[in-house]
């Protein structure tokens, strides 16, 4: 198996807006860069992954990818939908439609370059380790197949597809069930792998406070320690 990984990245300057109750705009930008860096370093540290892609419309995110030896892939201005994706989003889901189209575009690029499998990981998994990646690849059934890692809220923190376009990406609200339904409809084997490190993605203030309360081992956590977010977390707990 020739495995590639792709990490979609939003514009660093405007990412993580839902963390505004805890962080300033400059802090959110610094955190977004640190989160992306943590994911890329983990991916570059595992021998399971032959190549890492970062797909983004943001030049700053692509420059960060370049600095770590990842291949920067511009987000397509308009990507045609893959068969079976026409009903994947509801009105108002433009962000998810764009994200999924970008990930399927990356899948097509990877497949054309010889990849036989593609791992999709969000850019906000600060606890990701090479062992987590190995656990996903070890669980992969014979092709066509997928492996999914769930988040605590029913989302998808990792999507491993073999081949890279075994089924269309279905990220968005309720994505875990959406991916499983798509796999069943396409007769694609699917497995779930629970990994605590993959269950914590940083979207909401409570996610950030949970991360700040854990033993530090990532760049994102170092920033939170510098900003004393753990003290904020203790204050929140005391107030409950």
* Structural domain count of the chain: 1
Tell me how long the chain is: 240
> Which residues form the domain of 206?
3-239
Tokens (6 digits) for 202: 């940083």
Cβ–Cβ contacts within 10 Å for residue 25, how many? 12
pLDDT digits (tens, 9 = 90+) for 168-195: 999 988 899 999 999 999 999 999 999 9
3-state secondary structure of 160: strand
- In whole angstroms, what is the distance from residue 100 CA to residue 134 CA? 24
pLDDT digits (tens, 9 = 90+) for 90-145: 333 557 888 999 999 999 999 999 999 999 999 999 999 999 999 999 999 999 99
Backbone dihedral angles phi then psi of residue 125, each to the nearest 5 degrees? -120, 80
Question: CATH number for the domain including 115?
Answer: 3.90.550.10
Cβ atoms of residues 49 and 235 within 8 Å: no
Tokens (6 digits) for 223: 């920033």
For residue 234, is pLDDT > 60? no
- Mean predicted confidence (pLDDT) in 55-78: 92
- Mean predicted confidence (pLDDT) in 216-236: 80
Sign of the CA dihedral running 115, 121, 122, 123: negative
- Mean predicted confidence (pLDDT) in 3-21: 95
């Amino acid at each position: 198996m020739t495995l590639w990984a792709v990490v979609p990245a939003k514009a660093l300057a405007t990412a993580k807006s839902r963390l505004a109750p805890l962080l300033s705009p400059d802090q959110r930008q610094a955190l977004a860069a640190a989160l992306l860096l943590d994911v890329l370093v983990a991916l570059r540290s595992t021998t399971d992954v032959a190549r890492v892609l970062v797909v983004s419309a943001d030049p700053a995110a692509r420059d960060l990818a370049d600095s770590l030896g990842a291949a920067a892939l511009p987000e397509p201005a308009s990507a045609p939908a893959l068969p079976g994706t026409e009903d994947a989003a509801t009105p108002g889901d433009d962000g998810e439609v764009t994200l999924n189209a970008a990930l399927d575009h990356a899948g097509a690029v990877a497949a054309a370059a010889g990849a036989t499998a593609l791992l999709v990981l969000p850019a906000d998994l600060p606890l990701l380790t090479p062992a987590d990646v190995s656990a996903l690849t070890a669980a992969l059934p014979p092709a066509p197949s997928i492996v999914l890692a769930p988040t605590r809220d029913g989302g998808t923190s990792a999507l491993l597809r073999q081949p890279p376009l075994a089924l269309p990406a279905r990220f968005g609200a309720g994505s875990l069930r959406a991916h499983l339904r798509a796999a069943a409809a396409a007769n694609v084997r699917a497995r779930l792998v629970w990994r605590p490190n993959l269950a914590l993605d940083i979207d909401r203030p409570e996610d950030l406070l949970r991360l700040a309360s854990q033993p530090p081992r990532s760049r994102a956590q170092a920033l939170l320690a510098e900003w004393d977010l753990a003290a904020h977390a203790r204050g929140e707990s005391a107030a409950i």
